[in-house]
């Protein structure tokens, strides 16, 4: 058990099983860089408040920068004996700076650090996911352009409905993912990382933070963070607030819902029966028993992950239900669902962007399907309307024509003028040929 | 069974049990006014496309206005034999205009009407809920002002933490509901009601709608709708899209989460044990067995409704999972969860705004609690830090002091200088008196 | 506002909006008959405890039987001004028996009545749903027998896998619904309706109930209830307990999951592309725009209702989270999700039992699909294994053969001995013909 | 990338990013021992079918036993380059037995292995959790016995209701956990591990399994598994079936709901305000800022984990929605939610059993609360009823008495006979003293 940030009032040593149970280091280590960011600004505020000498402030900042360097070059390994990442970072500073490190936590609570770190994470990852959505949209455009001019079969109720341009079909997905991207960017824009809440009532340093933030950002050239980090305005709300995680996971749930629909369509269209699409072989897997199988596993896994993404949203919503103000330990459990959804979505989108480029359309099968006369029924009704037949009547005429065609196993295209005229005087072979092209 | 909008291609009559099962009139009648709005714009487009004569257009518009009048003065009763509200409205027009009504559905699909109506509903109700949130915020301000200057006990982990201003405590809820309100207004701003999708590929009239919308809005002085209704841009996406419902129900889930936290706090604070708050008696109920009971039922019901609001979000998310493009009948089932959440939240907020105004604080009990010395532990540690003791050490000193106080059942305020100095040379009776005021 | 069961300690009249908000009569009226059952047993206990004279007991029992008669012949209309069904029944008894009715609530709390009624409802409805599942299983058997001897295409990953008997395919669903039925019957068997909890600590009459239950059941010949109704054993647990609702809704969630899989399969198999199945026309609907459409709406609605059934489970689970013992008003909100799931499932199953009988298989399309050589790949590998080739090698041989067939657009059935032997010396035309029958 | 169990029909190498995305070894390695069990029975069947010589069968069985030994003594480390645990085990056998290992997968599909392994896991873990529940029940009994004879304050609506025995209060939780344990044991009893499904239509060896199972169990003395492993009866259902996971996670959701209620109560009762309970210090944590804090973190984490357990149930339910028969790759994603819920619940229960034993009651505070007169209101009403006052009237009398007491700030115990008689002639000081003891 590594050194903890509390304990003076406790007589008994903490129970080992409980300590293991309550630790968060195994997942919150992902927030290390944001914790260091918080500490570095905090140090500036402590220095300005004369709690740290400039020399001591510099010493600690240097120690933190060293740790940050390790994180950036991936050599940082969390000490799994620590309680959480905040403690872990503090212990590392202590190793480098000795007793001086005992001043780092001055007027600061993990309640404030946690929400700051989580917002930092959401800020970065909402940006990353927006970028990946951009790549998927590009791949969809690539596919649409590759098959420019292709017609496609449009469906409602998984039943053939009308002929549409393949580009229009693909544009529907582009439109969905564009909305998703916009939602993420709006979400990101609103995110503000507050500092200075103390445990919940506001730190004694609260008035020092605005200046400290400016000084820090200027010194470190972290322009991207300008305007994003602020001295806290409503401390009890700030440490209680997990709205941003719910918002983020809600947006990701919609992304995932869209992905599941794309997956369902592509699974259908790549069956032997539809046969409109060939999925890229290098993204499929086989069977350990059936030698012929080439399964659309990637699409199935995407569809299946919908459970996980929705479940993570349900998880955080449930956890937050009925919590008294302000911070409660329950809220520690917001991290794993957040990280899980972010990582799944990123993995899906990264692979999907490549996958889509590998899709090939099977023109023959599509053309064959487009011969289906029912796809032109609506156009036929529209023709009748233009001939002054009320739509309700036109709809019924075409309905009966189709029934006749089915009952008599006779294509409309093959019906003679006499037959056609029985349904409407406006119908004849020429008209049919024109519409059923 | 009332007249349906389809049927020509069917030989068998629809099974009665199935027809009853699939009808939506019992709930979608709530969309009647939006369906009429769609029809009135559609009529202008049909007239401009010469499918309707100006006279016929006027005749139908008049019929629709009459139905609308009935809706507005609450005399409209849906015909529960109809399949859905769209059919019901069409049948009413037929009663008033005869065969002419058969032209109303020309080039139009319910797929387009449904999403249009649902967006209209979300537009109005997001506005209504934002207004109600405004009222709750006003009531919270009223309460904060009424008890201006009061101190209160601040909690973390449901354990006493530090003294805070009652106003700051209430401000946390104001801040939550203000975020909720902003989310609703942003959501509303983004909502666009598209018209002209046809079944999914775009109606033949698609080019007529922009002009028809302008003409209609000008004629009816419906300025509020200007910019909100547009000719559809991506028809297959439009009829497939239910993102806005998920977004709306996600926002409402956060509202409800906030409500559940307020409820939990107020239930706690109105127990005999906390006793900080007296809930207004006219919003409480008694027991059929225990004559003394005055239960915080309103708060409990609010907390309990969290299940319903989260469940409704889970419902629509699940329904939308894995649906192939474009429209599928599954999507009909989006309405009941939407209506349910909107109605629950509106009821809660309306009652809550009055409820909050009736809350009375119990000053004596609060003052009694504020005597608890642990509430000043953090301030004491901060004092030591100002005396140049590193925070980590100060934290430990105060921790030990508290343990000593508990073990010896001796209040810190009652300790002599000698005892205090054993913990730190900076401590003495005077300092303690100052901090524990 | 109708008369309430509480109020003596209250000075202010209850707020009207709040009263409306908290009422449950609009849905809990469905429990009327169970409330009467509780009252009738309670009256026997009161009589045995000499709190009621035999004459008064009889008078009230007669009043209750009259109300029950109204419920059974569907003339009972709840008074929507009442707070809940328990109050409503009490008020009706008062109308019939005057002041005597004031003795009905003696030593009794609605906390005890509510859970008793809900269990009664679950008992009946779990039985009803088990029966309906039985009907669906019968319909599936009818279908299997009708198409006895038919082969069918078996799928994994929505990709053709192996030929199977149609009966085996249908048997998978029978097996699912049989498990569901067993789960319901086990659930029902375990359900015990306890009486005598008082508010939560046990009524003063607690020792009278066992005899009262026996006396009542004997008198009324309600044998079905024998052993099902018991004097309460653990009163605080009994009024707190909603496990049975969660259990019931979990079982129904599995039923619904099975239904959604059947629906998905039947939607697929009735597409133009698969074309294996013709869904009964009288259970399909058309389109208001596209005259040719015959949509599998019933299947889509079933698939869509999965959202509702899962959402209802999420709702009750969330509501019960973190409730302190014993009864809390939050628990009132368990009823609507319960009733909703029960009613949806019953409607689905009732219609489904008829629907399935109307399904027709399209033999030609199935036979056509069965010509697909990949369906026999596994059988071919098994043949090679019987010829002493290790399975891993056999799997690879067949994999390569299929690839060759695809690349050269040459059916395996059409390959000559020379070609076949290139893949394995055990292969030849005769073998192929035998396996690919 | 380690050797895979498929690939002959594939021309392209699998995409690396996709391969990484679809692998399950990082979690399904937990099923290693069940996979070996499946293989060992399978080998007996292969031997009996003469596909393996007795010598070869023995050779492979020995290899498998060696791997199993590694698992049991915790030296087994999954090769994370493998696709899944089934492949990993096969590759290990190949290392030990060479080419012979290619015969292991003969007539066998991972579809069959996966469901077999998952059921094995559920079987063991449902037993483990039932045991842990048993330990928690023992700890509750220990606590009840320790405070035998103590009275306690009973609550409804978090408002004081009536005095109850502390033992009765604790018995409510014992009753809940006993129901949970029974549910788990019933679940376990029903679980059957089927073998022989092949990919979904039944393996060619299907008739060999019954004998093979018997032979294997006899040879290995694995009596516990007797009757638990069977030759498959309905193969397409077996590979499609995940009901048991949903059932298990539903049961665990109820366990967790109970835990969250216990946690809520213990958090309340250990506040400064209630002060009935002292939670064991070695299971609490402090604050990094506030030196006095002793937070009920363990209880909060338990309450918070409710989100995760419910979310995992939502996850698997959503994933299974609308999957066509039979096996789909989506189903791979059932494992992580299952493992997550099992591990969380086991950790919670293990720590809880110790935690409960450390709880100390604060007799003084409880006795103080028991002086609250409202706790005796119901008993007073019951007294009046025994004096022949109708309950409704008695309820109102006591209600008014309480109101009078509150308005005049005069305890009922302190009222004179004259005052008391104003409310009912049956009331007097002696009676009050008796009841309010």
* Other beta carbons less than 10 A from residue A79's beta carbon: 13
User: What mean pLDDT comes out for the span B414-419?
Assistant: 93
Q: Which residue of B has its CA nearest to D381?
A: B291
User: Catalytic residue at A374?
Assistant: no
Please return the burial class of D282, using the count of CB atoms within 10 Å of its CB with bins 0-12, 13-18 and 19+. middle
Q: In terms of DSSP bridges, do strands B229-231 and B193-195 run parallel, antiparallel, or are they unpaired?
A: parallel
Q: So what's the architecture of C16-106 in CATH?
A: Orthogonal Bundle (1.10)
Q: What is the pTM of this model?
A: 0.97
Can the peptide bond before residue A238 be classed as cis, meaning omega within 30 degrees of 0? no
pLDDT for C292-302, tens place per residue?
888 999 999 99
Helix (H) or strand (E) holding A44: helix A32-48
The pLDDT assigned to A402 comes to 87
The pLDDT assigned to C1 comes to 54
**A230: β partners:** A194
C-alpha distance from residue A10 to each of A321, B375, D359 (Å): 31, 17, 16
C-alpha distance from residue D181 to each of B246, D131, D133, D254, D255 (Å): 38, 8, 6, 11, 9
What is the distance between the alpha carbons of residues B38 and B238, in angstroms, rounded to a whole number?
15
Residue identified by tokens 């290995």 is: D220
C-alpha distance from residue B79 to each of B29, B37, C284, D161 (Å): 9, 19, 22, 50
The reply to whether residue A102 touches residue B392, judged by beta carbons under 8 angstroms, is yes
Share of chain A above pLDDT 90, in %: 83
- Name the minimum distance, in Å, from the CA of A86 to any CA of chain B: 14
Share of chain D above pLDDT 70, in %: 99
The reply to whether residue C399 touches residue D260, judged by beta carbons under 8 angstroms, is no
Positions of B marked catalytic: 157, 287
Contact D162, D90 (CB under 8 A): no
pLDDT for B157-185, tens place per residue?
999 999 999 999 999 999 999 999 999 99
Q: In terms of DSSP bridges, do strands D229-231 and D193-195 run parallel, antiparallel, or are they unpaired?
A: parallel
Nearest-CB residue to A378 (from C290, C317, C380): C290
Contact B280, C13 (CB under 8 A): no
Q: Which residue of C has its CA nearest to A375?
A: C292
What is the distance between the alpha carbons of residues C321 and C377, in angstroms, rounded to a whole number?
52
Please return the burial class of A350, using the count of CB atoms within 10 Å of its CB with bins 0-12, 13-18 and 19+. middle
Show residues of chain C in contact with D320, CB under 8 Å.
257, 261
- Name the minimum distance, in Å, from the CA of C59 to any CA of chain A: 47
Please identify every stretch of chain C with a pLDDT value under 70, giving residue numbers as ranges: 1-2, 8
The reply to whether residue D310 touches residue A307, judged by beta carbons under 8 angstroms, is no
* Other beta carbons less than 10 A from residue D429's beta carbon: 16
Can the peptide bond before residue D205 be classed as cis, meaning omega within 30 degrees of 0? no
pLDDT at B392 > cutoff 90: no
The pLDDT assigned to B1 comes to 53
pLDDT for A219-267, tens place per residue?
887 777 888 999 999 999 999 999 999 999 999 999 999 999 999 999 9
- Kindly give, in sequence order, each residue whose CB lies less than 8 Å from that of residue C406, ignoring residues fewer than 6 positions away: none
C32-35: which pairs have CB atoms within 8 A and are 24 or more residues apart? C32/C67, C32/C71, C32/C76, C32/C78, C32/C85, C32/C88, C32/C89, C33/C68, C33/C71, C33/C72, C33/C120, C34/C116, C34/C117, C34/C118, C34/C120, C34/C121, C35/C85, C35/C86, C35/C89, C35/C113, C35/C117
Angle, CA B269 vertex, CA B264 and CA B273 arms, to 5°: 120
Show residues of chain B in contact with A399, CB under 8 Å.
6-10
What is the distance between the alpha carbons of residues D61 and D101, in angstroms, rounded to a whole number?
11
Helix (H) or strand (E) holding B193: strand B193-195
Ordered by start, the domain boundaries in chain A are 16-106, 112-198+234-367, 372-435
* Other beta carbons less than 10 A from residue D219's beta carbon: 11
The reply to whether residue C377 touches residue A161, judged by beta carbons under 8 angstroms, is no
What is the distance between the alpha carbons of residues B62 and B40, in angstroms, rounded to a whole number?
9
The pLDDT assigned to D2 comes to 67
Q: Fold for domain A372-435?
A: Ribonucleotide Reductase Protein R1; domain 1 (1.10.40)
Chains near D (3 or more Cβ pairs under 8 Å): A, B, C
The pair of three-digit structure tokens given for residue C271, joined into one six-digit string:
């597409």
* ipTM for the predicted complex: 0.95
pLDDT for B312-358, tens place per residue?
999 999 999 999 999 999 999 999 999 999 999 999 999 999 999 99
The reply to whether residue A290 touches residue C377, judged by beta carbons under 8 angstroms, is yes
Q: Which residue of B has its CA nearest to D395?
A: B291
Q: Which residue, among A154, A273, A406, would best test binding to C if mutated, counting the most C CBs under 10 Å from its CB?
A: A273
Strands (E) located in C229-305: 229-231, 277-278
Contact A387, B50 (CB under 8 A): no
C-alpha distance from residue D246 to each of C255, D187, D251, D336 (Å): 11, 11, 9, 13
* Other beta carbons less than 10 A from residue D371's beta carbon: 11
Q: Which residue, among C7, C23, C89, C318, would best test binding to B if mutated, counting the most B CBs under 10 Å from its CB?
A: C318
Q: At what angle do helices B243-269 and A166-190 cross, to 10 degrees?
A: 30
pLDDT for B43-58, tens place per residue?
999 999 999 999 999 9
Q: What is the CATH number of domain B112-198+234-367?
A: 1.20.200.10
Show residues of chain B in contact with C14, CB under 8 Å.
282-283, 285
The reply to whether residue A326 touches residue B154, judged by beta carbons under 8 angstroms, is yes
Helix (H) or strand (E) holding A377: helix A377-386
* Other beta carbons less than 10 A from residue C420's beta carbon: 19
Instruction: Report helix, strand or coil for B304.
Output: helix
pLDDT for D355-381, tens place per residue?
999 999 999 999 999 999 989 988 998
Strands (E) located in C79-221: 151-156, 159-165, 193-195
* Other beta carbons less than 10 A from residue B348's beta carbon: 23
The pLDDT assigned to C206 comes to 86
Nearest-CB residue to C311 (from B108, B198, B314): B314
The reply to whether residue D171 touches residue C236, judged by beta carbons under 8 angstroms, is yes
Please return the burial class of A141, using the count of CB atoms within 10 Å of its CB with bins 0-12, 13-18 and 19+. middle
pLDDT at B233 > cutoff 70: yes
The pLDDT assigned to B390 comes to 87
The pLDDT assigned to B191 comes to 97
Q: Which of C301, C328, C332 is nearest to C315 (CA)?
A: C332
CA torsion angle A192 A121 A90 D302 (round to 10) = 100
The pLDDT assigned to B290 comes to 78
The pair of three-digit structure tokens given for residue A17, joined into one six-digit string:
């099983």
Contact A293, C161 (CB under 8 A): yes
Show residues of chain D in contact with A337, CB under 8 Å.
307-308, 311
The pair of three-digit structure tokens given for residue B306, joined into one six-digit string:
């969290």
- Kindly give, in sequence order, each residue whose CB lies less than 8 Å from that of residue B196, ignoring residues fewer than 6 positions away: B45, B112, B202, B203, B205, B206, B209, B231, B232, B235
Show residues of chain D in contact with B274, CB under 8 Å.
271, 273
- Name the minimum distance, in Å, from the CA of A74 to any CA of chain B: 30
**A115: β partners:** none
Q: Which residue, among A157, A164, A287, would best test binding to C if mutated, counting the most C CBs under 10 Å from its CB?
A: A157
Instruction: Report helix, strand or coil for A241.
Output: coil
Contact D34, A318 (CB under 8 A): no
- Name the minimum distance, in Å, from the CA of B118 to any CA of chain A: 18
The reply to whether residue B289 touches residue C109, judged by beta carbons under 8 angstroms, is yes
- Name the minimum distance, in Å, from the CA of A198 to any CA of chain B: 10
Instruction: Report helix, strand or coil for C160.
Output: strand
Q: Which of C127, C343, C323, C336 is nearest to C241 (CA)?
A: C323
- Kindly give, in sequence order, each residue whose CB lies less than 8 Å from that of residue C212, ignoring residues fewer than 6 positions away: C41, C42, C44, C45, C48
Chains near B (3 or more Cβ pairs under 8 Å): A, C, D
Nearest-CB residue to A288 (from D6, D21, D354): D6
**A80: β partners:** none
B293 pLDDT band, cuts 50/70/90, is: confident
pLDDT at D305 > cutoff 80: yes
The reply to whether residue D314 touches residue A314, judged by beta carbons under 8 angstroms, is yes
What is the distance between the alpha carbons of residues D135 and C360, in angstroms, rounded to a whole number?
57
- Name the minimum distance, in Å, from the CA of D222 to any CA of chain C: 28
The reply to whether residue D156 touches residue C200, judged by beta carbons under 8 angstroms, is yes
What is the distance between the alpha carbons of residues D323 and D312, in angstroms, rounded to a whole number?
18
Q: Which of C157, C168, C292, C395 is catalytic?
A: C157
The pLDDT assigned to D291 comes to 77
User: What mean pLDDT comes out for the span A119-131?
Assistant: 98
The reply to whether residue C305 touches residue B333, judged by beta carbons under 8 angstroms, is yes
Nearest-CB residue to B172 (from A204, A236, A322): A236
Give CA B162 to chain center in angstroms: 32
Strands (E) located in B204-246: 229-231
Q: Which of D157, D197, D203, D204 is catalytic?
A: D157
Quote the DSSP letter at residue D155: E
- Name the minimum distance, in Å, from the CA of D270 to any CA of chain A: 15
Show residues of chain D in contact with C252, CB under 8 Å.
none
Instruction: Report helix, strand or coil for A269.
Output: helix
């Amino acid at each position: 058990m590594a050194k903890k940030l509390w304990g003076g009032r406790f007589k008994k040593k903490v129970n080992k099983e409980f300590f293991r149970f309550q630790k968060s280091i195994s997942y919150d280590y992902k927030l290390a860089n944001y914790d260091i960011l918080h500490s570095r600004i905090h140090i500036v505020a402590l220095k300005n408040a004369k709690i740290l000498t400039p020399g001591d402030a510099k010493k600690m900042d240097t120690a933190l920068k060293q740790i940050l360097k390790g994180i950036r070059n991936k050599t940082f390994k969390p000490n799994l004996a620590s309680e959480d990442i905040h403690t872990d970072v503090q212990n590392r500073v202590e190793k480098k700076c000795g007793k001086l490190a005992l001043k780092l936590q001055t007027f600061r609570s993990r309640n404030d650090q946690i929400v700051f770190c989580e917002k930092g994470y959401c800020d970065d990852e909402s940006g990353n996911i927006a970028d990946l959505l951009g790549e998927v949209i590009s791949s969809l455009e690539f596919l649409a352009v590759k098959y420019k001019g292709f017609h496609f079969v449009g469906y409602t109720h998984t039943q053939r409905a009308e002929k549409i341009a393949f580009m229009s079909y693909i544009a529907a997905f582009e439109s969905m993912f564009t909305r998703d991207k916009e939602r993420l960017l709006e979400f990101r824009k609103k995110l503000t990382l507050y500092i200075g809440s103390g445990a919940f009532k506001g730190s004694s340093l609260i008035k020092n933070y605005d200046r400290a933030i400016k000084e820090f950002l200027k010194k470190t050239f972290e322009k991207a963070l300008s305007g994003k980090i602020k001295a806290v305005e409503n401390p009890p709300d700030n440490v209680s607030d997990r709205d941003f995680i719910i918002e983020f996971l809600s947006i990701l749930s919609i992304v995932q819902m869209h992905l599941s629909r794309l997956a369902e369509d592509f699974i259908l269209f790549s069956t032997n029966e539809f046969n409109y699409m060939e999925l890229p072989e290098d993204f499929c897997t086989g069977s350990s028993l059936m030698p012929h199988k080439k399964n659309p596993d990637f699409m199935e896994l995407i569809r299946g992950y919908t459970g996980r993404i929705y479940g993570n949203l349900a998880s955080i919503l449930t956890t937050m239900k009925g919590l008294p103000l302000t911070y409660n330990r329950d809220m520690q459990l917001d991290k794993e669902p957040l990280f899980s959804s972010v990582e799944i979505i990123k993995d899906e989108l990264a692979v999907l962007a490549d996958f889509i480029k590998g899709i090939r359309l099977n023109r023959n099968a599509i053309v064959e399907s487009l011969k289906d006369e029912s796809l032109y029924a609506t156009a036929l009704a529209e023709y009748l309307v233009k001939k002054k037949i009320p739509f309700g009547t036109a709809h019924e005429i075409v309905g009966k024509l189709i029934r006749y065609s089915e009952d008599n196993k006779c294509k409309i295209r093959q019906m003679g003028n006499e037959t056609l005229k029985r349904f409407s005087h406006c119908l004849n072979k020429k008209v049919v040929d024109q519409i059923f092209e």
